[in-house]
C-alpha cells in the first residue's frame, strides 16, 4: 500500500466512513479528484460503483463528460428532471444538492472533496459570514468524503503516475470557488507559506453561536439588576432575573408545538409504568381510551417534571396543572 492510499484508508477508519470491504457509489465528474477517489477505493478493496449526474449546463462539454464517465468508470449517467435552462445561474450549492438528491437510494455515496476544497470552503465562509468551518467527512444523508486529507495536487499526481485519464472542468474558473482558487489563495501563499495548512486547521473548529445571538445574550447579561427578557428567535426567549438566566419558549415534538412558562419541565416519550400524576390510570390506558392508533403511541409527547407526568397533550392534564401547558398539533 502506498503512503497516500494509507492516508486515505486511515481517514476512512478514523471517521467510520465505509465498512471494511463495503459497497460505495462514487460520484464522478471525470476530473482528477473523483477519478483518484474511484481508483483508490477500488485499490483499497471496497466494492465501488460509479454514478455521474449530467446537469447539461456546458453543452457539448457536459455531454463529453458524461460519455467519458460512462466509458471510463462504467458509470450510470443521471439527468435531473430540471431542464438545463432552469439550472443556468444556479449556485454551486444548489447544483450539489440536486446531485445528492438525484443519487438518493444508492446507499453510501463518496465524493472527491479534497483538502484543497476544504481550504476554499473555510476561506469563503470566513469572508462571507465571519465564521470558519469546513465540509463534513460524513453527512447525515450518507454522503462521505474520504479525500479530505489529500491535496488536489496529490490527486492529479496519483492519476498521472497510474496513467489514469481525467477531464478538466472548464466552468471552474467562472465560479466563486474558482476566484478563490485562482487569485486569493496564491496571494495568501505569497503572504505566508503556512496559509493553506492554517486554513485547513480551521475546518475542525467547533461551530459557534450566530453573531446576532451572541450580541443579544451579551447585552442581556451586561446588567444584573431586576428582570429582563430577550427574543432569541424561533419561538425561544431568554429571561434574566438578577444573576440567573433561563430559556423559555416552544418545544417541537414531531407535529406538536408545546409551550409552558413553568420551570423545570421536559418533553419525552412514554416509558413502561408511566402514570399521569395524581391519577391511577397508566399512560398506556389513557392512550387507548383516547383511541390513539397503536403506531402513534410511542411517539406521543409527555410533559414531565422529574419523573412525574403532568400533561399528555391533546389527552389529559394532571390535577393542579390545568392550563399550565399549551400545545397545538399540525394537521
Give whole-number Cα distances, 76 to 35, 72, 73, in Å.
15, 11, 9
Number of domains observed in the structure of the chain = 3
pLDDT confidence of residue 173: 61
Q: Give residue 216's pLDDT band: very low, low, confident or very high (50, 70, 90).
A: confident
- 177 shares a domain with 315: no
Residues 6+ apart with CB under 8 A from 276: 283, 286, 309, 310, 312, 316, 317, 318
Would you say 122 and 202 are in contact if contact means Cβ atoms under 8 Å apart?
yes
The strand order across the sheet containing 325-329 reads 227-233, 236-241, 244-253, 256-260, 325-329
Burial grade of 186 (CB within 10 A; 0-12, 13-18, 19 or more) = exposed
3-state secondary structure of 227: strand
- 231 shares a domain with 108: no
Would you say 76 and 66 are in contact if contact means Cβ atoms under 8 Å apart?
no
Q: Give residue 283's pLDDT band: very low, low, confident or very high (50, 70, 90).
A: very high
- 11 shares a domain with 157: yes
- 181 shares a domain with 260: no
pLDDT confidence of residue 19: 94
The strand order across the sheet containing 266-268 reads 266-268, 302-305, 308-312, 316-317
Would you say 54 and 77 are in contact if contact means Cβ atoms under 8 Å apart?
yes
- 244 shares a domain with 131: no
**Domain final residue, candidates 181, 202, 223:** 202
Question: What digits encode the pLDDT tens for the residues 21-37?
Answer: 999 999 999 999 999 99
Give whole-number Cα distances, 97 to 177, 180, 270, in Å.
17, 21, 37
What is the distance between the alpha carbons of residues 38 and 269, in angstroms, rounded to a whole number?
44
- Nine-digit cell string for 105: 437510494
Query: What is the number of residues in the chain?
Result: 331
Measured over the CA atoms of residue 173, residue 180, residue 54 and residue 159, the dihedral's sign is positive
- 327 shares a domain with 216: no
Quote the percentage of the chain above a pLDDT of 90. Answer: 46
- 280 shares a domain with 172: no
Element housing 287 (H / E): helix 283-289
Would you say 311 and 321 are in contact if contact means Cβ atoms under 8 Å apart?
yes
- 101 shares a domain with 116: yes
pLDDT confidence of residue 307: 86
Output the DSSP codes for 76-141. Answer: EEE--SS-HHHHTT--HHHHHHHHHHHTTTSSSEE----HHHHHHHHHHHHHHHS------SB-TT
What is the separation of C-alpha 127 from the centre of its chain, rounded to a whole number of angstroms? 21
**Domain final residue, candidates 202, 235, 269:** 202
pLDDT confidence of residue 134: 87
Can you give the residue range of the structural domain that contains 213? 209-249
What is the distance between the alpha carbons of residues 294 and 205, in angstroms, rounded to a whole number?
44
For 245, half-sphere exposure in the C-beta direction (CA atoms, 13 angstrom radius) is 15
Q: Give residue 264's pLDDT band: very low, low, confident or very high (50, 70, 90).
A: confident
- 265 shares a domain with 222: no
What is the DSSP pairing of strand 266-268 with strand 302-305?
Answer: antiparallel
Give whole-number Cα distances, 33 to 36, 41, 80, 244, in Å.
5, 12, 22, 52
What is the distance between the alpha carbons of residues 261 and 246, in angstroms, rounded to a whole number?
11
- 213 shares a domain with 86: no
Question: What digits encode the pLDDT tens for the residues 84-93?
Answer: 545 555 677 7
Name which residue leads in pLDDT, 205 or 297: 297
What is the distance between the alpha carbons of residues 296 and 205, in angstroms, rounded to a whole number?
40
CATH of the domain at 99: 3.40.50.620
Question: What digits encode the pLDDT tens for the residues 298-328?
Answer: 889 899 888 899 999 999 999 999 988 899 8
Q: What is the mean pLDDT of the chain?
A: 85
- 235 shares a domain with 149: no
Amino acid at each position: 500500500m502506498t503512503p497516500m492510499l494509507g492516508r486515505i484508508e486511515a481517514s476512512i477508519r478514523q471517521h467510520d466512513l465505509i465498512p471494511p470491504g463495503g459497497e460505495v457509489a462514487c460520484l464522478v465528474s471525470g476530473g482528477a479528484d473523483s477519478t483518484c477517489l474511484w481508483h483508490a477505493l477500488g485499490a483499497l478493496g471496497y466494492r465501488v460503483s460509479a454514478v455521474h449526474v449530467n446537469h447539461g449546463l456546458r453543452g457539448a462539454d457536459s455531454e463529453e463528460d458524461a460519455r467519458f464517465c460512462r466509458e471510463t468508470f462504467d458509470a450510470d449517467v443521471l439527468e435531473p428532471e430540471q431542464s438545463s435552462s432552469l439550472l443556468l445561474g444556479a449556485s454551486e450549492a444548489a447544483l450539489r444538492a440536486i446531485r445528492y438528491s438525484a443519487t438518493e437510494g444508492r446507499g453510501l455515496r463518496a465524493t472527491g472533496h479534497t483538502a484543497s476544497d476544504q481550504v476554499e470552503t473555510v476561506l469563503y465562509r470566513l469572508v462571507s459570514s465571519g465564521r470558519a468551518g469546513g465540509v463534513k467527512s460524513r453527512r447525515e444523508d450518507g454522503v462521505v468524503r474520504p479525500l479530505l486529507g489529500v491535496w488536489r495536487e496529490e490527486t492529479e499526481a496519483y492519476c498521472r503516475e497510474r496513467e489514469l485519464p481525467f477531464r478538466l472542468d472548464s466552468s471552474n474558473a467562472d465560479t466563486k470557488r474558482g476566484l478563490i482558487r485562482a487569485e486569493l489563495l496564491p496571494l495568501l501563499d505569497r503572504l505566508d507559506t503556512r496559509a493553506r495548512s492554517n486554513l485547513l486547521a480551521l475546518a475542525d473548529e467547533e461551530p459557534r453561536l450566530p453573531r446576532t445571538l451572541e450580541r443579544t445574550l451579551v447585552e442581556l447579561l451586561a446588567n444584573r439588576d431586576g428582570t429582563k427578557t430577550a427574543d432569541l428567535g424561533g419561538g425561544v426567549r431568554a429571561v434574566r432575573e438578577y444573576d440567573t438566566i433561563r430559556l423559555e419558549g416552544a418545544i417541537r415534538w414531531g407535529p406538536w408545538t408545546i409551550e409552558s412558562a413553568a420551570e423545570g419541565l421536559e418533553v419525552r416519550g412514554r416509558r413502561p409504568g408511566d402514570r399521569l400524576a395524581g391519577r391511577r390510570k397508566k399512560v398506556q390506558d389513557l392512550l387507548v381510551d383516547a383511541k390513539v392508533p397503536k403506531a402513534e403511541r410511542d411517539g406521543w409527547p409527555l410533559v414531565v417534571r422529574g419523573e412525574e407526568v403532568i400533561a399528555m397533550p391533546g389527552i389529559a392534564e394532571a390535577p393542579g396543572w390545568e392550563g399550565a401547558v399549551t400545545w397545538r398539533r399540525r394537521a
